[in-house]
Amino acid sequence: MKQSDRKAAFDKLKSHYYAHRGLFDDNGGAPENTIPAFKRAVEAGFGVELDVQLTKDKRVVIAHDYSLHRLCGEDKLIKDLLYGELSGYKILNSGEAVPLFSDALEIIGGKVPLIVEIKAEDEYKDVCELTSRILSTYPGLYCVESFSPYVVGWYKKKHPEVICGQLSDDYIYFNYLKSKFKNWALTNMIFNAVNKPDFIAYNYQFKDKKCLGFWKKILKCGTAAWTIKSQEELDAASEMFDVIIFDSFIPKEGKEHGLRTRITRIENMD
C-alpha cells in the first residue's frame, strides 16, 4: 500500500471518538470490555477500542488485564484457563463474562470504527495470526495497535494492508521493566525505525515527550491520545492528536454520532 493510500485509510479513522474498552459503566451492568459496553458505544455512535488476548485453548477473547484479579477477584491468568473455564467467572458482579472477540464483532458489525489492541506479554505470533484470521472477514473499518513492537512488526510484514499503530508510554517514569535499557527503548519507540507504524498511540499524560514529536515528523504518521478523561483534556488533545480514545465521561460534541470536534468545526465553516 502506498504512503498516500495508508494516510487516506488512517484519515477515515479520524471521524470518531473512541470509547476505551467500550462505553462502560462498571457500576451499571456494562463493565469494561463486555458486550453491553460495546452495545452502548455503538448506540451512542462512538468508535470502540478493545483489547484481545488468548486463552489456554487459543480462543481470542477480549480483556485488558492478563490476570482476573482486578475484575473477578481471582489470582488466575487468562492464558492458563480454557475458554470454558474463563466464561464461568463474572466481571465485577455484573453477570457478564469475558467475551469472545468474534461475538463482539457481531455486535459492532461495522456500524462504527474499531481499534483493536493486541495484548502480547510473551509469545505474540499465535495471537496475531488468530486475531488477523478473525478480522479477515470483518466488514467494518478497523485498525490494530500494540505496545509490543514485535506485534507491530508482524502486522507490517504479514498484513501491510492493515493500518497498524505503535502504542507507548513513559516506561522510564513508571519503571515498568527491570531493564533500564528496555524502559528507554520502549519509551522512545526505537523499533519505529524498522516497523514504521502508521500511527503512534501515546499516553496523553506524557504528550510533551520529544520522541512523540520526533517520530511524527520523521514517519509523517498519525497520532492517537489515550486515555482522555475529561472534556477539558479532550478539547486540548484535539488540537494535537488525530484520534481520541476516552473513558470516564461523555464527550459533549459527537455525543449522538461520535463525530470529532475538528470535523464539526470544518463543516460549520463551509
Alpha-carbon gap, residue 256 to 261, rounded angstroms: 12
Burial of 222 (0-12, 13-18, 19+ CB in 10 A): buried
Known catalytic membership, residue 20: yes
The residue extents of the domains of the chain are: 3-269
- pLDDT at position 268, please? 36
Residue 256 banded pLDDT, cuts 50, 70, 90: very low
Question: Which of 20, 69, 159, 257 is labelled catalytic?
Answer: 20
Q: How far apart are CA 21 and CA 64, in angstroms?
A: 8
Q: Are strands 60-62 and 142-146 parallel, antiparallel or unpaired?
A: unpaired
Query: CATH for 3-269?
Result: 3.20.20.190
Mean pLDDT of 40-61: 98
Alpha-carbon distance 71 to 169, whole Å? 23
Please state whether the peptide bond connecting residue 227 to the residue before it is cis, i.e. omega within 30 degrees of 0.
yes
What is this structure's pTM? 0.93
Residue 9: pLDDT over 50: yes
Amino acid identity at 37? A
Residue 99 CA from chain centroid, whole number: 16
Is the confidence at residue 257, as pLDDT, over 70? no
Options 16, 64, 159, 257, the catalytic residue:
64
pLDDT digits over 83-139, tens only?
999 999 999 989 999 999 999 999 999 999 999 999 998 789 999 999 999 999 999
> Would you state the cell numbers that stand for residue 245, as one nine-digit string?
480514545
Q: Is 64 a catalytic residue?
A: yes
When pLDDT is cut at 50, 70 and 90, the band that residue 209 belongs to is: very high
Range name among 130-134, 222-226, 257-261 with the lowest pLDDT average: 257-261
The reported pLDDT for the residue numbered 27 is 87
Strands (E), 149-221: 164-168, 199-203
Average pLDDT on 204-219 reads 97
Report DSSP state, residue 100: B
Alpha carbon distance 188, 166 (integer Å) = 11
| pLDDT band at residue 264 using 50, 70 and 90 as cut-offs | very low
User: Does the structure show a pLDDT above 80 at 254?
Assistant: no
pLDDT (0 to 100) of residue 267? 36
Q: Is-contact 47 112, C-beta < 8 A?
A: yes
How high does pLDDT run on average in the chain? Answer: 92
Q: How confident is the model at residue 7 (pLDDT cuts 50, 70, 90)?
A: confident
Q: Check: CB of residue 226 under 8 Å from CB of residue 202.
A: yes
